[in-house]
Amino acid sequence: MTNLAATSSVSPTNSSSSLIARIEAAASGDASITFVGSAAQGRDVDSVLWKELHSDAQAMAAVMQTRGVYAGAHVAVLGPTTRQLVTAIQATWLCGAAAVMLPLPMRLASIDEFVNATRVRIHASDAVLLLIDDQLADFLDEEPGDPPVLRLQQLANAAESLSAVHYNRPDDDPEALAILQYTSGSTSDPKGVMLPHRCVAANIDAIVHGGEIHAGDDVTVSWLPLYHDMGLIGLLAMPMCTGVDLVLSAPQDFLAGPSKWMEWMSQFGGTITAGPNFSYALAARSLKRLENLDLSSWRVALNGAEPVDPATMRLFIEAGARHGLNPGAVFPAFGMAEATLGVTFPRVGAGLNVDRVDRRVLETDHYAAPVTVEHADGRELAKLGRAMFNLEIRIVDRASGTVMADREVGELEVRGDSVTTGYYKRPDATAAVFHDGWLRTGDLGYLVDGELVICGRIKDVIILGGRNVYPQDVERAVNDVDGVRPGNVIAFGTQGNRGKESLVVVAETKELELEAVRDAIKSAVYGAVGLPPEAVVLVTPGTLPKTSSGKLQRSLCKSRYLEELLSLA
């Protein structure tokens, strides 16, 4: 039978569609936000009640209002994770303005690229004010057409003298933008995802309901960047709007020492956290050597933002077992900025569930034929749960629009309360992303009894000899090769003179015996997908292009390969 759509049917408690009203309600409780690591700005721990931070944010909002920030305006925000930054984000919402979170530079070597990309986003967003960390302000010299700049320390100082009593609360407007989220990808042609208050509120409801989150019981721990939707909405706006305790660090703390994440989960009794797949691989390594941790309170370990690798999560589960980690805490999910954040959640406590399918049938017939563990050509794909509250999902044939039956592979489409109203000042892009009221995700996948399984991105699929080869399968195999930097592999297809597509693998390495690494990669790829790569390109560490959230950029890597711009090892 054709699966018309999969949807969640259980409703959470209804509340206001205004983030301002939700923040005010949450501030009446006794929950707190605790800054740790560099976010604590020189202290070991800086803990403040949400009600205290709210008072500070009201004073900041009063200052911003004197600087011309009005309800409906857009405010660009740039800085590392600190108490000042979090307060400024809330202050922006209290003004009735939309927050435009700007990514931090990935590497100092690319500072010019960072400055150019930042300026493009600021201008594209029509920001009336730029709130910026003092250190980063030195990189952005003011140019004609730029909005006024207010340093975070200046804002904090002015707020101390003005106080919250001067804050003029705007009327609640569910249709006003709360967030203008610029998607990863090309910086020359950015697309700003418009997220009204009602969309963000609806997704927060869905997260709370799907994660069975309770103020007073749960403790959220996060190191995710606040310019990424999972960090901003899932692990900051959610606790800020619901009165859930939050322990917050900066991304650089995790990258400098992944063990800190696990230590904070133990120290503060963390129950909920999230991260991309690579972070759980690093966490697994840390857990093998760490001692005296108690992870027994951990109940939701959300894995999202990049493909979920079942093998990685099994290593994480195994490493965490001796620290009291419940295997059921593993929580593979799917989300995207255009749906605010979350799209599908598994059942809490269900743990890792996989679908093992025939890889060749999947690639040639676009059908997920189930196979046993013993099957030689089996491919494991993580089940990502069902549609969250007030959302529907379906799988369609992109060419005809026909809704597919269970296990038939097609494009995932989404509709519901938290889906974006479109791209800011981009009617062409907005029209292209919607199909009969459904949001086209650009992801290939299928449904199994209402649960979503993602195969890969449509634009990344490599067509070889009539087969749809998914780059993730190639990259996963190469990641295990000695000498290759795990998580720093990109596979893509190129067309030769006769129009035949070939497989290219680009991998970062520090090894000197390049031929041995190259031969090992060829063998690993052939073993994984039954095809040898046409070319294996070894590059120096830091060469592969990534988005501001750390995702590999396959199309940009392909362009640099074709233009011979990669830094060869």
Three-state secondary structure of 91-118? HHHHCCCEEEECCCCCCHHHHHHHHHHH
Q: How many domains does the chain have?
A: 1
pLDDT of 550? 74
With respect to residue 1, please indicate whether it lies within any of the assigned structural domains: no
Q: Domain of residue 473: give its range.
A: 462-562
pLDDT of 188? 53
With respect to residue 556, please indicate whether it lies within any of the assigned structural domains: yes
Instruction: Name the residue among 58, 142, 9, 67 with its Cα closest to residue 416.
Output: 9
With respect to residue 518, please indicate whether it lies within any of the assigned structural domains: yes
User: What is the reported pTM?
Assistant: 0.90
With respect to residue 406, please indicate whether it lies within any of the assigned structural domains: no
With respect to residue 54, please indicate whether it lies within any of the assigned structural domains: no
Instruction: Name the residue among 487, 463, 474, 462 with its Cα closest to residue 536.
Output: 474
Torsional class of 325: left (φ above 0), alpha (ψ -120 to 50), beta (otherwise): beta
Phi, psi dihedral angles at 465 (to 5 degrees): 60, 35
With respect to residue 290, please indicate whether it lies within any of the assigned structural domains: no
pLDDT of 142? 77
pLDDT of 197? 97
The stretches of 27-110 forming alpha helices (DSSP H) are: 50-66, 83-94
**Residue 517's CATH number:** 3.30.300.30
Which residues of the chain register pLDDT less than 50?
1-4, 8-14, 186-187
